[in-house]
Amino acid sequence: MADLRRTTEMHVTFSIDRMRERDLLQVVDIEEASGLNRWGYDSYRREMLKNPTSVLLVARSSHTTDSEVIGFFAGWTVEDEMHVNNIAAHPGYRRMGIGKSLMQTAIDIARPCGVKIVVLEVRASNESAQSLYRKLGFRFVARRRDYYRFPTEDAMVMKLAID
């Protein structure tokens, strides 16, 4: 895999790597701490082991000896489209470029596989994620009423053309 090591301007060094089975407990901790609709350990593990179209990445802190996971990305590709299922940075490591690096790396991986469009849904109230996606060039294309549960909320569908 290409060298995915990136350094932020803010004194946090991290690498973006493929997610491994031993990362999963940390991934689900970040998922729970981020208020995301729960996938849970088994779903990520199934994706990792059974879905060859999965793109599963982690951001790993370079400052801790035990390779602490400080962010993750979960998506899959279908023909010329990549769907983003989940992305999160650890609450203690936000606004340090982790979300952006995870998404850019996933796109870098997907592009040579023929992916031309990246699609995602985001809660209508999730300003920080929408801001990240807009910064990366995503545009709103639709609104799905009551798409989310716990709490019920509309989804904004966003797309990015990458070819």
Binding site for ligand COA (CB under 6 A): 34, 36, 87-89, 94-100, 122, 126, 128-129, 131-132, 135
- The rounded radius of gyration (Å) of the Cα atoms in the chain is 15
CB-nearest residue to ligand COA: 99
Residue 77 vs 93, nearer CB to ligand COA: 93
Least distance (Å) between residue 13 CB and ligand COA = 14
Least distance (Å) between residue 69 CB and ligand COA = 13
Residue 114 vs 139, nearer CB to ligand COA: 139
Residue 71 vs 115, nearer CB to ligand COA: 71
Residues 6+ apart with CB under 8 A from 55: 73, 74, 75, 76, 77, 82, 106, 109, 110
Provide φ and ψ at 101, rounded to 5°: -65, -40
* Token pair for 112: 């040579």
Residue 88 vs 106, nearer CB to ligand COA: 88
Least distance (Å) between residue 31 CB and ligand COA = 8
Least distance (Å) between residue 108 CB and ligand COA = 15
With the CA atoms of 24, 25, 31 and 34 taken in that order, what torsion angle do they form, in degrees rounded to the nearest 10? -140
